[in-house]
A and B are shown apart, each in its own frame.
Chain A
């Protein structure tokens, strides 16, 4: 089998190509090396959208000499965070924003829950790229399907036979980390210019709605782990390739979502640390579900006074609710300060949504806020 035909990496050497200022080779895909055709991330992007900066005003001058691509200039974004903080919502809002800027975008879910589809009122479609809005797609990735596809593409009919072998299925799914490797392998495939999936169009941006972090960076580490265990052979190779793609910070970004509460903030800060250990970094923190501050301290005193005097049940309930929310808003501000300090201010805020659930209207609000906040130059060192 010719290397170029395999499931082999397109971006194996992406990490080693100096970003941006390097002129793109005229047709990089003809240039084969041991890992397969080496195509830098920007060259591939320019095939989709003809101007790399895509018509946006140039970034504000930076102290560092290299131009810093903004978040949506990346090609692969992992949205991560503790369970229940709104990762799917943020990933989808980000996707919608990107799609409206003309980027063909896919939001990939790894939890087999099809939350993104349901935000748009779709029923759960499995392992299919579904178009939710103009330019916005989603796919729900599960390791079983990812393995079938991988085997089919990689070793043809034998692979297909292997995939349908129950024994092999059981082995592969039980092998620790294999599920993660297969899932992230599919994510990586989505981010390729030349898609291996039959009929799969190229994407400008892949946003991954990652599983809950726990403490580590498990998913992001998996490819490297496999490369280390397997050392040689296709799995090691695949692992290294994906690891290189993840390590390329111009190509891959990590967004953490947190709510302004003790635990999610802790988790984000420890995520920051474990990313650092992997030579990765947080590109952005989205602080989600921030309560409004409705009352100033003088007003709070008035409310407390009124509560002590009032005897009407309704008035008392309303005053209590106001004071209670204020107390929460205040502790939220403390958590925000702690988080902001921990991430050098690379933080944008989304408001708490007072609604039955997040549907298209609420999503719209979040997209608008996100757009405003992303337009502001990021504070602090990168």
Chain B
């Protein structure tokens, strides 16, 4: 099965996975391939390699998708029938835009943006990338400009952060819990009754009065906007759960990322999020076709001489240690997926961070079952 089949009829493709497995390049290769097939595609990337950013022309952070000039893409010999657009996410800017959008008037928006709590919230703090990535995705979807949006998720060690962090930040913005604690006259206090008073006292003792009052000011500013945040959060959740959305998990064939992918897959299913398939990068395919690595040395001794043949055999042996490892890990994953799509991309000679690399990756991602078999057979022969 090719990735194009997985994404048929989809408007959003979220590429998720643990760190260092090739999410950014896979997202870009998917977007490239879908554009080649005729769609108008935007890839929202977080932090592309410089050369890849250059290749796509997104080195500027202006937070809007730009069309990648067809001439740039023409070099690889791939015909682009649709359009490829790319953007690099600027979390701070996305956050500001969100405030502009939900604030009742510009003056209030400016006041919020100048607030200290807000400034920290929108920049330094972890979770803001995840939160803004989803916010941007939602806005782009609302604009209906594109046939397909491909989202490269922020770099994190734990794939689940991507789902958790926005929710956390959102519940903070909604601020219900906090308001209950800091506004003695508010509805929250009435509901909680007197029980909240020691809580408030303790909170002040722990956080310091300034923090509490700063937060108070911040939420005061957000006062009549919190229902907008809740509404948006609900809409975003609806969007992520829609049947037109596809979560594609990206992994490498090593033990930890595979375990992470298995866990993430289960979480998606459990949460009712639309899972489309797994892409496993950097797979060491078995090249032995039934022989043993030990057979290499005698086979090559005459042509290469004893010493060089020994080194080639040693290299081949090491390669197959990794091939057997990958095989086992992928089998584990396949068992968990129970027939759901699993796409393998072999270990390429170079790590992928430019257009050429994308094209090489694209070949494997967009190959049909038959073509893929041929490509793998080519690796061997």
List chain A positions with a Cβ less than 8 A from chain B.
82-85, 111-113, 115, 151, 154-155, 158-159, 161-162, 165, 167-168, 170-171, 173-177, 179-180, 211-216, 218, 221-222, 225, 228-237, 259, 261-264, 266, 294-295, 299, 302-303, 306, 309-310, 312-322, 324-325, 327-328, 331, 354-357
Of the candidates B117, B304, B347, which one forms a contact with A306 in the assembled complex, judged by CB atoms under 8 Å apart?
A: B304
A314-B312 Cα distance, complex, nearest whole Å: 12
Stretch at the interface among B8-16, B141-149, B169-177: B169-177
Count of CB-CB pairs between chains A and B under 8 Å: 239
Q: Bound complex: CA of A216 vs CA of B350, how far in Å?
A: 27
What is the CA–CA distance of A331 and B353 in the complex, to the nearest angstrom?
Answer: 12
Q: Would you call B318 and A354 a contact (CB within 8 A)?
A: yes
Q: Which residues of B contact A314 (CB under 8 A)?
A: 288-289, 291, 295-296, 299
B-chain residues with CB within 8 Å of residue A303 when the two chains form the complex? 304, 308, 312
* Secondary structure dominating the interface of A: helix
**Does B374 sit within 8 A of A, measured CB to CB?**
no
How far apart are the CA atoms of A232 and B210 in the complex, in Å?
Answer: 7
Closest to A262 in B: B353
Q: A20 to B45, alpha carbons, bound, how many Å?
A: 47
Residues of A within 8 A of B124 (CB): 177, 216, 218, 221-222, 225
Residues of B within 8 A of A112 (CB): 158
Q: Is the CB of A111 within 8 A of B311?
A: no
Q: Which residues of B (308-363) have their CB < 8 Å from a CB of A?
A: 308, 311-316, 318-319, 321-322, 324-325, 328, 347, 349-351, 353
| Contact residues in B for A321 (Cβ distance below 8 Å) | 287, 315-316, 319
- The answer to whether A167 touches B177 (Cβ under 8 A) is yes
Q: Other than the known A225-B124, A328-B349, what 8 A-B pairs have Cβ atoms closer than 8 Å?
A: A83-B19, A176-B125, A228-B116, A231-B210, A234-B208, A262-B50, A306-B300, A314-B296
Among B47, B49, B203, B211, max chain A CB count under 10 A is at: B211
Q: Given A214-B154, A234-B208, A316-B381, do A261 and B351 touch, yes or no (CB 8 Å)?
A: yes
| Contact across chains for A310 and B303 when beta carbons are under 8 A apart | yes
Interchain CA distance A236-B214 in the complex, whole Å? 13
Q: Does B181 contact A (CB under 8 A)?
A: yes
Q: Give the interface SS of chain B, mostly helix, strand, loop or mixed.
A: helix
Distance A263 CA – B315 CA, assembled complex (angstroms) = 26
Question: Using a CB-CB cutoff of 8 Å, which residues 125-175 of chain B contact chain A?
Answer: 125-129, 154-158, 168-169, 171-172
Which one of B50, B154, B210, B296 contacts A266 once the chains associate, using CB atoms below 8 Å? Answer: B50
A356-B171 in contact (CB<8A): no
A303–B210 alpha-carbon span in the complex (Å): 70
**CB of B110 closer than 8 Å to a CB of A:** no
Q: CB distance A180 to B126 under 8 Å?
A: yes
**Chain B nearest Cβ from A334, distance in angstroms:** 10
Question: Is the Cβ of A230 less than 8 Å from the Cβ of B316?
Answer: no
Within the assembled complex, what's the spacing in Å between the Cα atoms of A375 and B42?
A: 51
**Chain A residues within an 8 Å CB radius of B328:** 356
Inter-chain contacts of B190 with A (CB < 8 A)? none
Q: Cβ of B18: which chain A residues have Cβ within 8 Å of it?
A: 83-84
Taken together as a complex, chains A and B put the C-alpha atoms of A145 and B181 apart, in Å, by 22
| Chain B residues positioned under 8 Å from A259 (CB to CB) | 20
Nearest CB on B from A359, distance (A): 10
User: Contact check: which of A167, A225, A231 meets B181 at CB < 8 Å?
Assistant: A167
Residues of A contacting B77 in the complex (Cβ-Cβ under 8 angstroms): none
